[in-house]
Amino acid sequence: MPSPKFVTKTWRPSFVTAAQQTSLRVFGTLLLTGASRGDTALANRYETVLRRSSLQEMWRVVVPTGSQDAIPGSVGLSFFIFDRGHKTLVGHTGDQANFRSFFYLRPDTRTAIVTVLNTTNEADAEKEEAGWTATKRAAMALLAP
């Protein structure tokens, strides 16, 4: 299987550390591949954190209909599953105290998009939500055109 490709465009605010970026890459590699590149210790570490078989189970549809922020999808175990024309995307979003994030991954191509923002527009919540949904839809379109 091909190795995952990480294309990183980073605007580096003072609160994002190199260690956090490294952790995100390690987490992404775990989710996308479980790849250890022949490193037995790393393979054992990945399997200790979360077995690949458990991830695959989490990526199965549990509730066939559902929605995540006005984007139709299904619900798995801790993940949302999106069918985009016979291409499956798996993802999750979160927000707290004006910070918003999402990640979507496409297991068959081992590609993913992660977005983290530290701002919201509380003055115009409806417009802000529409923009956030449009951003997520655009990310999905990049993964599954």
∠ CA 71-72-74, rounded to 5° = 125
Q: Is residue 12 part of a domain?
A: no
pLDDT digits (tens, 9 = 90+) for 45-100: 777 777 778 888 888 988 887 666 667 888 888 888 998 888 999 998 888 777 88
CA 98, CA 93: separation in Å to the nearest integer? 13
The set of residues, in sequence order, having a beta carbon less than 8 Å from that of 75 and lying 6+ positions away, is 61, 62, 63, 66, 81
Q: Answer whether residue 24 shows pLDDT above 70.
A: no
Q: Is residue 13 part of a domain?
A: no
Range of the domain at 29: 18-58
pLDDT digits (tens, 9 = 90+) for 116-145: 887 777 778 888 888 888 889 999 999 998
Q: Is residue 106 part of a domain?
A: yes
Higher pLDDT, 43 or 90: 90
Same domain? For 91 and 111 the reply is yes
- Nearest alpha-carbon partner for 144 in 100, 113, 102, 101: 113
Residue 4: what pLDDT?
46
Same domain? For 119 and 48 the reply is no
Same domain? For 135 and 111 the reply is yes
Residue 138: what pLDDT?
92
Residue-wise over 22-36: b if at least 16 C-beta within 10 A, else e? Answer: eebeeebbbbbbbbb
C-beta of residue 90 within 8 angstroms of C-beta of residue 105: yes
Same domain? For 100 and 134 the reply is yes
pTM for this entry:
0.70
Same domain? For 47 and 81 the reply is no
Residue 27: what pLDDT?
65
Same domain? For 66 and 126 the reply is yes
C-beta of residue 140 within 8 angstroms of C-beta of residue 104: yes
End-to-end CA distance of the chain: 22
Q: Answer whether residue 38 shows pLDDT above 60.
A: yes
Q: What is the domain count for the chain?
A: 2
